[in-house]
A = this chain, B = another copy of it.
């Protein structure tokens, strides 16, 4: 995919310049000086020759095929260039020029026009307002960035040109190799989604890195990301996560920033690894690019000094990893050649006077041990250490690629050469053991994610036509906040159990209803005009006798009429009180990028005060529903503490799945919540006691 961009046989630079330092000059220079073997055509009506190449007044004058055009002319002139490309059959265009959506409303209009023209001709556009792209395999450097990275198997794309420039400059200094380097700019056409697909297919790319400010089509993004994640790791920085950040995003690229919660859920669900900083991004990347994934969480730490060993052990314990238990056989083997003051348990401390042979013998044993999934080698530059020899030895063991080896050679001057050697042979090294551990943790999490079964989305049967009818009614009546009754009927159509309920218009009807339902009962006013019933004295709970029911009827009526005199009152609903059940809340809101975001939490203060909730983007699989339930800190309350029976987790799972299905089936529902959703013990089901549902005003 996007072959015309990454592997063009001929490239035109439209807006090529004779002036050193100008972008149009740098573009030509970059195409020439990094080993590109194809043809380069500078286009400039005022020049005969640029950097030794014949210059053409326009694309029309080039009588040879051009696969890729790189455009750096004034924004107003861009449209004409696109047309020329279309007419001559050039189907890949990078628009470097700025002055579009990011600049002004005229710019935005111009960008729309650009999109339209490109689409008509079947042209793919990268940009506008971008730095360009680099492909180290084909030696294409169609960017105005300074420098060309070494060849490697890491790809990087960015929604921020500045990040591209900064990361490239940093990577040049760090000598990190890249397969491709892409600045997406305004994404008039090619987006982060296209890039994920292209990089997923690219045989030169083993790890995909990206800097993301937002996505437009969250659903497709997730689907593509999950597909690609199964083949190679995607590691992203997502900025614009907080409200302040979000403000800056919208004034920056005009893209809408989705809420942090939705992105967190989306990344988790599609296997994307999130990095918080550029340092973290590359800490992860270099390991994923060169090392196999660990098959389990058990880590052995091999060190020539105590302090760093402790630091690494601490970090392991704080992570999802485990310190491998060293078996007595392995201890015996280690004891056979290590001095008595060494430590044979994890961390394995071969002590300060260790030469390379101790590292070698220990690695021999650890790499063969089936109870160890990954090895972390620490080295402090003591007086006796042979840094380079040790590095060479580690490289040998890393070659078989069966288990990951990560290193922390600590220091700088003394260990520099050894570290260079490790890096050159694909063994990642980190200044701090903690960083190495956090990288290993991500690798183990990826292995775990890859080995979990593909998600299955269960079929949810529901009376959809009933829901359609109810929503239609609500829209006609302009009741965008549905009445409780109607909301509950909708949930009922999706298989939710409601409490036994009867509508009473008089005291006597209420008493009769209560008798037939069975005591205790709850009573709630029914009115399309009242959303928060409790606030107006419209709810009384736990009524235990006919007398109490009748009194409650009068009390509710008086209170509601005095507080909301204009509300239409349909009557009072008499409801079964659900006893001995756990209070939970399930609901969803609509994220502009990702669609329905499903929430789960335990009711009352757990949600309100402790914010002990969890989210997923719909659709959710059964496994994801289970994860949601287990993820909240208050989960032990559902499992049952102090001899209590466990809550009916299956009913909760069904509830979450049905809710997600409802959200997907009827996108006009922008918010819905069942609160409380009372979950009984064991296999006794769950009851939707109260419900709210809001539809979009059209």
Contacts and interface: CB of A to CB of B under 8 A. Distances in A.
A102 B349 CA distance: 13
B415 A169 contact: yes
B605 A279 contact: no
A318 B382 CA distance: 40
Contact of A310 (B165, B213, B310, B414): B213
Given A146-B413, A211-B307, 19 more contacts: A102-B341, A103-B341, A146-B381, A162-B410, A163-B380, A165-B305, A167-B411, A169-B413, A169-B414, A169-B415, A171-B412, A172-B413, A173-B413, A239-B310, A242-B313, A252-B349, A605-B636, A610-B612, A610-B634
21 contacts: A23-B383, A26-B383, A146-B414, A158-B307, A161-B352, A162-B382, A163-B305, A165-B382, A166-B308, A166-B411, A169-B410, A174-B412, A213-B307, A239-B311, A244-B313, A244-B346, A245-B313, A248-B343, A248-B347, A252-B306, A278-B410
Nearest to A281: B432
Interface of A: 21, 23, 26, 102-104, 144, 146-147, 158-163, 165-174, 211, 213, 237, 239-245, 247-249, 251-253, 276-279, 304-311, 313-314, 316-318, 323, 341, 343, 345-347, 349, 352, 380-383, 410-416, 431-432, 434-435, 605, 608-610, 612, 633-634, 636-637, 641
A26 B323 CA distance: 37
Given A21-B383, A165-B380, A170-B410, A248 B306 contact: yes
A167 B277 CA distance: 23
Contacts of A278: 410, 431-432
Nearest to A174: B412
B608 A633 contact: no
Nearest to A303: B162
Contacts of A251: 343, 345
Q: Which 5 A-B pairs have the closest CB atoms?
A: A173-B412, A160-B307, A162-B305, A169-B411, A166-B410
Nearest to A278: B432
Given A170-B431, A242-B318, A608 B641 contact: yes
Contacts of A381: 146, 165-166, 169
A638 to B, nearest CB: 11
A306 B253 contact: yes
A170 B314 contact: no
B605 A314 contact: no
A173 B411 contact: yes
Contacts of A160: 305-308, 310
Contacts of A248: 306, 309-310, 313, 343, 347
Contacts of A174: 412
A311 B163 CA distance: 10
Contact of A609 (B26, B144, B169, B641): B641
A438 to B, nearest CB: 10
Residue from A304, A346, A610 whose CB has the most chain B CB atoms within 10 Å: A610
A317 B242 contact: yes
Contacts of A415: 169
A276 B349 CA distance: 22
Given A381-B166, A435-B277, A244 B305 contact: no
Residue from A248, A381, A432 whose CB has the most chain B CB atoms within 10 Å: A248
A258 to B, nearest CB: 14
Contacts of A147: 413
A382 to B, nearest CB: 6
A323 B244 contact: yes
Contacts of A276: 434
B310 A605 contact: no
Contacts of A316: 244
Given A163-B307, A165-B380, A307-B158, A279 B431 contact: yes
A424 B346 CA distance: 42
B434 A277 contact: yes
A523 B475 CA distance: 60
Residue from A242, A252, A311, A316 whose CB has the most chain B CB atoms within 10 Å: A311
A412 B169 contact: yes
A441 to B, nearest CB: 14
A405 B552 CA distance: 66
Contacts of A609: 633-634, 636-637, 641
Nearest to A642: B608
Nearest to A145: B383
Residue from A102, A237, A411, A637 whose CB has the most chain B CB atoms within 10 Å: A411
Contacts of A413: 146-147, 169, 172-173
A192 to B, nearest CB: 14
